[in-house]
A = this chain, B = another copy of it.
Amino acid sequence: MKGEPLAAIVSVGMTRFGKLPGFSVRELFSLAFKEALERCPELDPKRDIQAIFVGNMAGEGWEHQGHWGPICADWVGLVPRASTRFENACASSGVAFRCAVMAIKSGLIDVALVGGVEKMTHRTTAESTEFLALASDHPFEQWHGLTFPGLYALMAVAHMHKYGTTEEQLGLVAVKAHKYGALNPKAHFQKPVTLEKVLSSRVIAWPLKLYDCCPISDGAACAILTKPEIAKRFTDTPVYVIGTGQGCDYIGLYEREDLTSLKSTKEAARQAYEMAGIEDPIKDLDVIEVHDCFTISEVIAYEDLGLCRKGEGGKMIEEGRTDLHGDIPVNVSGGLKAKGHPVGATGAAQIYELFLQLTGEAERGRQVPDAEVGLAHNLGGSGATCVIHVLRRG
């Protein structure tokens, strides 16, 4: 049945995103969990939680550490529960969430802890750039010195060339992100910026300038997932997962037919919309979190999600249609751009924001009035992975 709950979110937790010196991955994960516990006094973790699903992109690089499943289980006091680590680049906790949803739906797990975490800022930018590059193709991209700003710049140039998208339009994505980041007490950046400042910031990979790029951040986020039938044991205000979709595209840009669109997003949206019964995303959705690692990524997401026609993403941001009070609010959390992007945590942080929005808890005036249905769009790499979830308030 369309729109039927697959699983219920009964609590969420998240650290502040930003530079968090002195904390390691295991500590950040347990801090996010602590908030989820505080928000849900009915949950007895040792009694209730049967499995842990954790996304982390490249702790191997940043901390010389893999095998995060058992480490995270230990630091939240849940040994000997099953604990699994997922890596799909920046979609690591998005795919962890999806597998947790399927685990709940399978009937094998009643209550799961699902989250994501990354600790990045203690290493140099050059080191982080290298670890992030692991998500692109080694023989055909990394090897030739192509890094992520370069990959997204190629997409931006193609979009500008094909559809007349402008640097100003891209810049407006950043302006919107910082406007809402200022309303998010957990955001990495909490200060508005002007379009002039964005456009005059230094070029990273043309046409992308410093303010077109999300920052390198530390942080963790998590959610407690249960079977819908038992959700009310834990909270009066569960949020239901009513759609899930995942798709992929070729990892190397050179293999793609079109640089201005992602097969992964289209495939994931097709699945999730079908499952959730979304026919007109603008009408049927109230709030959206998209993966805006670079400003061009948000513009392409508008189009691939069907919020506007192909090529009109630039116009959409220009007309303010994705503002808090526009047709469909997008990234009122500040997005990756201003909220920050601890890569393995981002998918879970989108779920965190939607939980707040759908339970009416978003702070500082960024609450979307009476939001009922939300969508999270999480990319990995240059979009070779996309995972989408549709949530509905209980």
Tallying the copies of this chain within the complex gives 2
Shortest Cβ distance from residue A356 to the other chain B in the assembled complex, whole angstroms: 27
Query: A260-308: which residues lie under 8 A (CB-CB) from chain B?
Result: 263-264, 266-268
Please, how many residues of chain A have a CB less than 8 angstroms from a CB on the other chain? 66
Closest to A82 in B: B246
Q: Is the CB of A85 within 8 A of B83?
A: no
The answer for the CA separation of A103 and B245 in the assembled complex, in Å, is 13
Residue among A245, A247, A248 with the highest chain B CB neighbour number at 10 A? A248
Taking a contact as CB atoms under 8 Å apart, the answer to whether B381 and A249 are in contact is no
A-B pairs with lowest CB-CB distance, top 4: A82-B246, A70-B384, A105-B106, A66-B134
> Cβ of A99: which chain B residues have Cβ within 8 Å of it?
84, 99, 102-103
Query: What mask results when residues 18 to 47 of chain A are scored 1 for a CB within 8 Å of chain B, else 0?
Result: 000000100000000000000000000000
Query: Which residue in B58, B71, B107, B247 is a CB contact (below 8 Å) of A81?
Result: B247
Nearest-CB residue, chain B, relative to A142? B64
Query: CA of A152 to CA of B141 in the docked complex: distance in angstroms?
Result: 39
Chain A contacts with B in 371-394, Cβ cutoff 8 A: 380-381, 384-385, 387
Which residues of A46-92 have CB atoms within 8 Å of chain B's CB atoms? 51, 57-58, 60-61, 63-71, 73-74, 79-89
Task: Using A82-B98, A84-B88, A105-B108 as known contacts, list a sample of 18 further A-B pairs with CB atoms less than 8 Å apart, ordered by residue number in A.
Answer: A51-B246, A65-B142, A66-B89, A66-B135, A67-B381, A67-B385, A70-B249, A70-B384, A71-B384, A74-B248, A74-B251, A80-B247, A81-B267, A84-B246, A85-B87, A99-B103, A102-B103, A102-B108
| Min CB gap A343→B, angstroms | 11
Complex contacts, A68 vs chain B, CB 8 Å: 87
Is A318 part of the binding interface, using a Cβ–Cβ cutoff of 8 Å? no
Tell which of B67, B86, B101 touches A384, judged by Cβ atoms closer than 8 Å. Answer: B67
